[in-house]
Amino acid sequence: MAKFYGIELNSPLMLGTSQYPSPAILEEAFKRSGASVATVSLRREAGNSKMGGDFWALIQSLNVKVLPNTAGCYSIKEAVTTAQMARELFNTSWIKLEVIGHSDTLQPDPFQLVEAARILVDDGFKVFPYTTEDVVVAERLLRAGCEVLMPWGAPIGTGLGLTNIYGLRTLRAQFPDVPMVIDAGIGLPSHASMAMEMGFDAVLINTAVAKAGDPPAMAEAFAKAIAAGRLARNADPMEPRDMASASTPVIGKAFLS
């Protein structure tokens, strides 16, 4: 499995921590998923409250790697400030960098994203940039010092799956040695399995698990689908064909007249 800033995770499944019906259900979902990473948003308004303190204690009890994010940030200054606050709170240099450029699709702003990444890398952060499948933007992020890319499958929370297969395949092929996590838009375990079959290194899920009728069961389903997809990728699957090819050879077989 790929290493993320020198760390090899024991599972390619990353889970978000928002929108769950209850803390107990969140905890059970993590247990059944075997997820190795929990992404968390910095809630400034709750950071010093009892509710906020209880939430951080729950996250720490999950015994997984914590990946804070800058969700909801629309500017470089806001994203950088949020990242710095998260580093102090969680005592980690890992940060999932989000700089939103479009309020309807929540598409990343590529210009501010690259500049914010450069600033954070220079400040010692290990940046996981939430980006699109754009190869040029990916190249700029890598030049800025990012060692991981997190391309979206589809807009956040839509559950549409991998909407640009060609673009994602191109991105994966262009940077074969860069660890990549499919982030956002995954709605079904089959979507996650496809991402792993395509050669991506991990998948980040939140809404599809948290908003399911049975979040722990869905978390387990995603874990199994991701494992199947990775196993299939490692098994070197057959290439698609335009023409039919009989699975049972006819040469050497008897024909009845």
Please identify every residue annotated as catalytic: 96
Joined tokens for residue 148: 């991981």
> Which pair of structure tokens corresponds to residue 215?
């979040």
CA angle, residues 77, 79, 82, in degrees to nearest 5: 105
CB atoms within 10 A of CB 118: 18
Between CA 185 and CA 207, with CA 160 as vertex, the angle to 5 degrees is: 45
- Spatial neighbors of 47 by CB under 8 A, at least 6 apart, are 89
Cβ–Cβ under 8 Å, residues 170 and 136: no
Give, as one character, the DSSP assignment of residue 103.
T
Which residues are bridge partners to 3 per DSSP? 8
Give yes or no for a contact between 107 and 133, defined as CB atoms under 8 angstroms apart: no
Strand duo 3-4 + 7-8: pairing = antiparallel
**Residue reference for tokens 């990242």:** 83
Contact predicate 72/100, CB 8 Å: yes
> CA 83 to CA 102: how far, in whole Å?
20
